[in-house]
Amino acid sequence: MINVKDHFTGYLFDIWDHIGPKRRKLLDKSWAGVFRTFLLEKLPVSKIARHFTDGMGRPSKELYTMTGAVILQQLHDLSDAEVTRALAFNIDWHYALDITDDSDASTYVSERSLRNYRRILIDEGLDRVLFEMLTDTLIAVFGVDTSKQRLDSTHILSNMRTLGRIRLFTVTIRKFLKKIARTHADAYSACLGPEFAERYLAKDSEACFSRVKPSEAPKTLKRVSEDLLYLVERFRAYESVCSLSEYKLLERVLREQCIVTGSGVDARVTVKPPKEVSSDSLQNPSDPDAGYDAYKGPGYQAQLMETYQAEQQDSPKPNLITHVEVEPANVHDSHALQPAIDDTTNRDCCPAELLCDTLYGSDDNVQEAAEKGVAVIAPMQGNTPEDSISLADFACDPSTHTVIHCPEGHSPDTVVRTRKNRLRATFNRETCLACPRQSACPVRLGKKASSLYYNDAMLRRAHRRSWEQTPEFKSKYRWRAGIEGSMSHLKSDVGTARLRVRGMAAVRFTVTLKALGLNILRCAKALTANFLVRITRFWHQNMLRKPAPSRFVTFQVFSFRKTILCLAS
């Protein structure tokens, strides 16, 4: 039976009047007030309700409460047991979720029920729906300007152990042996001798492999790779075993980490050098979706785009995260720019200027974003040698990109476009030989003439590199560093540095809702900031206009305290 409470109709009497005006004001200015006032009614409970039968069975938990509890769990980085206690006793949670009675039916949820409802949200893919719907609501309510945004990525660790190559082989083998010993006992006893159980399933086997001396590591690695090959070949004839995910992990480790020559009894295995192992190889059999980044290590990465304010405003607006995407750690950042622009364009919060670091600012990305009306501001890779002449120093026709004259004022004899869409500007050889800057010039001397070869992309990159040295670029790009603080807040305030879950679906769900939680906290902070701004403005306009006599000081302080209470109410 579906249990959904009506949160749209107001109450005839204020049921929260009993807590007092001061505590009520604290609730209204906190995350609880933001969630209750602006977001609670927007929760898509209809997509959860179809998992229950209307009119039959026991009543479900109140769907607004359960959906909101899953969001608040990620906002506060709580375990399931802590969520149970918070929902039962925490007045902030009761106010945020509009729980008006103290009955067990309204305030108690078991950890198992919480896991079941969270699984429904993950299976329905509601993490993205919740983030986009509620973030768009906050953008509209707080009047956030989305014309200026910035994009960057941060590394995320799931709940998995970092394994070396020996441990990766042995853990994968042990996982497979435990599975077939439990589900295919006949095949296990027929194909394997007791040495495998003694080597990989004994209580001290994991400790033995973890204490391998560096000098013995190559020998041990070769031995476990041979065992891995033996298991793959020995159970290949069993179709029921080959369909197991544990057997597929064996094949994946063998394919990614080893080179197999021959087949059948003549098969031989050689472990690949570390440099030849792909970055998308298996990092841990408990989390096969994780990738590897040579700089940051194994795990995932989150692509985040957020708004920022370049000018100080009288009424501060919160900087909100507008786009979240979770990827394996091995995915290059350059692929994240266009999906972020497309996502925000579909939701009418696309930026006009987007600040990125070097990895996002390829020429193809910049041109494609410009066609969508977005100006990508990112530095170019590499450095320009000092005292050198670049293509940007040549005067060119903006429509045809043909060179008009060089930095010394000499015009080319001819400018032609080749079949490969390159341009060739030909200069007089004698003139170039007499030029004092010939050694720093990109024009190359030939036998009969001097030639400058370039294309449209090279010219665009040269102008971008030249623009990087201007005060205009530095004034705009200095705001990009602010997203590093957002990454820090995302990890410290809502606990994204190391998650309690593993697997792409669970990691994406958790990170997306944590980004939504950070948006809620920022909106609550903006409410408090706006309140303080009003108090400060009143003080400067009314209290500090003229110096007051000493006998009126006490009266003014008392009046100021009364003013604060009036503004707060």
The segment with the largest mean pLDDT, out of 53-62, 325-334, 463-472, is 325-334
Question: Is the CB of residue 308 less than 8 Å from the CB of residue 335?
Answer: no
Residue 93 — pLDDT band, cuts 50, 70, 90?
very high
**Lowest pLDDT segment from 163-172, 516-525, 545-554:** 545-554
CB-based burial of residue 467 (10 Å sphere; 0-12 exposed, 13-18 middle, 19+ buried)? middle
Task: Supply the pLDDT for residue 403.
Answer: 86
Band (314; pLDDT cuts 50, 70, 90): low
Structural domain boundaries of the chain?
17-124, 148-157+298-376+475-521, 165-276, 391-457
pLDDT digits (tens, 9 = 90+) for 215-234: 888 888 898 899 899 999 98
Angstrom CA distances, 444 to 417, 428, 449, 461, stand at: 17, 11, 9, 20
Cα 75 to chain centroid distance, Å, stands at 16
What does DSSP say about strands 395-396 and 414-417: parallel, antiparallel, or unpaired?
unpaired
Predicted pLDDT at 567: 47
Q: What local confidence, expressed as pLDDT, does residue 540 receive?
A: 52
pLDDT in the model for residue 385:
66
What is the predicted pLDDT for the residue at 413? 85
Token pair of 92 as six digits? 């902030």
Structure tokens at 392: 């940007």
**pLDDT over threshold 60, residue 557:** no
Q: Which pLDDT tens digit goes with each residue over 36-83?
A: 999 999 999 988 888 888 877 788 899 999 999 999 999 999 999 999
Angle value at C-alpha 411, between 407 and 412, nearest 5 degrees: 115
pLDDT of residue 399: 82
Q: Please answer whether residues 108 and 88 qualify as being in contact, where contact means their C-beta atoms are separated by less than 8 angstroms.
A: yes
For the segment 403-429, what is each residue's pLDDT rounded down to a tens digit?
888 888 888 888 888 877 888 888 888
Q: Is it the case that residue 551 has pLDDT exceeding 50?
A: no
Please, which pLDDT band fits residue 316 given cuts at 50, 70 and 90? confident
Question: What value, to the nearest 5°, has the Cα angle with vertex 22 and ends 16 and 24?
Answer: 30
Task: Find tokens 């080319």 and name the residue.
Answer: 412
- pLDDT band of residue 313 (cuts 50, 70, 90) is low
Cα distances from 28 to residues 481, 484, 524, in angstroms, run: 32, 30, 9
Mean pLDDT rounded to a whole number for the chain: 86
Over residues 360-378, the mean pLDDT reads 93
- What average pLDDT does range 347-364 have in this prediction? 93
Residue listed under structure tokens 């476990």: 224
148-157+298-376+475-521: CATH architecture: 2-Layer Sandwich (3.30)
The pLDDT tens digits for 99-141 are: 988 899 899 999 999 999 999 999 999 999 999 999 999 999 9
pLDDT level of residue 447 (50, 70, 90 thresholds): confident
The radius of gyration of the chain's CA atoms, rounded to the nearest angstrom, is: 32
pLDDT value of position 534? 58
Structure tokens at 246: 């544990």
User: CA dihedral in degrees (372, 378, 380, 386; nearest 10)?
Assistant: 130
What pTM did the predictor assign? Answer: 0.87
Residue 13 has pLDDT above 80, yes or no: no
3-state DSSP call for residue 108?
Answer: coil
Question: For residues 453 and 447, what is the distance between their CA atoms, to the nearest angstrom?
Answer: 16
What is the structure's pLDDT at 300?
Answer: 95
Give the C-alpha separation, 244 to 248, whole Å.
7
Q: Residue 549's pLDDT is what? A: 46
Angstrom distances, CA of residue 201 to CA of 34, 206, 210, 235, 377: 53, 8, 14, 18, 56
CA distance 161 to 297: 12
Place of tokens 């841990």: 284
CA separation for the pair 432, 449 (Å, rounded) = 9
Angstrom distance (rounded) from CA 522 to CA 31: 9
pLDDT of residue 11: 74
Question: pLDDT band for position 360 (50/70/90)?
Answer: very high
Query: Alpha carbon of 5 to those of 16, 40, 61: distances in Å?
Result: 17, 11, 10
The C-alpha angle 500, 505, 510, rounded to 5 degrees, equals 45
- How confident is the model over 262-286, as pLDDT tens digits? 877 778 889 999 889 998 899 999 9
CA 567/CA 539 separation, integer angstroms: 12
